[in-house]
Structure 1
Amino acid sequence: MNDDDSTFGEAPSNASTSIRSSVTRYEWKHGRRYHAYQSGTYPFPNDEREQDRLDMLHHATTRLLDDRLFLAPIQPDGMRILDIGTGTGLWPIQMGDLYPGASITGNDLSPIQPTWVPTNVNFLVDDVELDWIETNTYDYIHCRYMSASIKDWPRLIRQIHDALKPGGWVEFQEFSTTFTSDDGSMGVDHPTHAFVQLSLTLKEACSKMGRMLDPTPCLKRWSSEGGFNTIEQHVFKAPIGNWPKGVRSKEVGTMMGVGLSDGVDGMTAVLVRDVLGWSADEVEVLNAKVRSATRSDPKVMADYVVVLAQKDK
């Protein structure tokens, strides 16, 4: 970012003006740092290692979508936009820079976003599972990477519907946890594969927490039941590892592989050790298998599912 760029400044955001000190009294478990607000509701870390992983995931999925930040048929300038579970805030920051006429809010349980942001971007510490007060407020709502984070997806989608203006769009982007191979050699019928073992283990832990690891099979149906009539789904194949030959696919695969290898410790620390009660040694065996698989197994892919839904005009 260029410090001379006139679109950047100390934005008057809640992230810098109204956060109580309690939300930054982070918790530490198994050598990783976790959010303080609504403690225990989100099972993944918020420390610098995790922030680096989230930023890498953002770059990977943006490349996967042909360098697009969204697929909804919108013109963001002049719109009021909400980014649910914004994480490091990279998506709103890039959107704010590209569309200075938009007003963009990102919310998250953790105030880990920067304060030097485009002046049309602000951040809130908020829990999207609580009651929303907004109705007919937003033109576009962006919601991604919320796997294992939500207890009641249908309720969240109903609240999103109510918060959108007539004609407004919501966009969900989530990874399926069913791994496949480009040559069809690996899938759900290979339960001994490290990726499948990880997926099944995390699914069991999330179930015990009352949360869903993989909402992708249900997003279209929930959107319909939540009041949306115009709904479409797009599925992109995300490679894991540097095996693809194309430049873009190789970039995506390399980032996906590194992100999974570096991030598996954070994925399993609370969910597998605390929720399932595995020992540190047992968890490390699983993590080591996953790290090895990201380097050695060819042609592994995961579906990246994008669901778009429009509120009736």
Structure 2
Amino acid sequence: MTQRPDQWTLLSGTAELKLAAGMLDIAGKIRFDAGYWQLAKAGAPQLSDDVFVRRAGGAAKKDAAAIRLLSIDVEADLGRNFHFRGAGVESRLVGTVRIQSDGTGIPRATGSIRTRDGLFDAYGQKLEIERGILNFHGLIDNPGLNIRAVRANLPVEAGVEVTGTAKRPLVRLVSDPEVPDAEKLSWLVLGHGPDQQGGKDSSVLLAAAQTILGGQDGGPLKAVQRQLGIDEFGISSGTLSGSGRPLSSRVASSSGFGSSDTTTDQIISIGKRLSSTMVISYDQSLSNAGSVVKLTVNLGRNFSLIGRAGSDTGIDLLWNYRFGR
């Protein structure tokens, strides 16, 4: 068992250690019965392995990596309870990888690792990882990538797909159904199409700022969200009843049906995701004292149930159908 505050593992299995002629050989099979691994933040930039620095007047030093002192041949099974967090990913990992090294360079690996029940933080949103696979067939620090993560339970499920290798990743926007890239980005960042913005939508700027300013930890805006315990934060144009959408609500009362005020306001929204289909949020108008607490339940890609309490109280069942797709 190994343990640190951000990294710990519980191992079982068999291994053989042999020491001969000043070299240690390690071989065996191990299984991670449980584990948690949080990726360390990126430090200062480092030179590539093929760059050598020779200072003026200094004698060339013998390359320590060329001295063969350790040989490794270990097969590692991640089991069913290995959890990983880092680089925007929170997921359980499964799979088996064989690691081999003759002590003269970077270890080589063969096998694959897959994600289970994972989330990927991108563009200020927590995306569900539909497919997450790392394929090892060479140096351990450069696996092949096959990753797809989407913002689920929306009429257009937009997301990102990452292929290539860890050192040369290829990232592209994807959606189901297929829509233009500008519309994909709107559904991914805002949760609705560009035709539903209803004015200048500052949520785009906030999400873009998080992406630009953020590193592995998501940047200062993401740090504030973690401190406050919230998942969503944005500013949009719309009405409290429409929640940034062009639709207005109709409220049933003793005097009949009445339409709510359709005056467009700037609205700040703070939300907490209770599950993959349920979000509770607080919307506050910046132009008046109006505010609502809202519970949104996505019943499917085209149906959602919204309950509001506050300046505008009511329950809406929304059905979204897109024409021409």
Output the TM-score relative to the length of structure 1: 0.26
Higher relative contact order (CA 8 A, sep 6+): 1
Structure with larger Rg = 2
Q: Which structure dedicates a bigger proportion of its chain to helix?
A: 1
Output the TM-score relative to the length of structure 2: 0.25
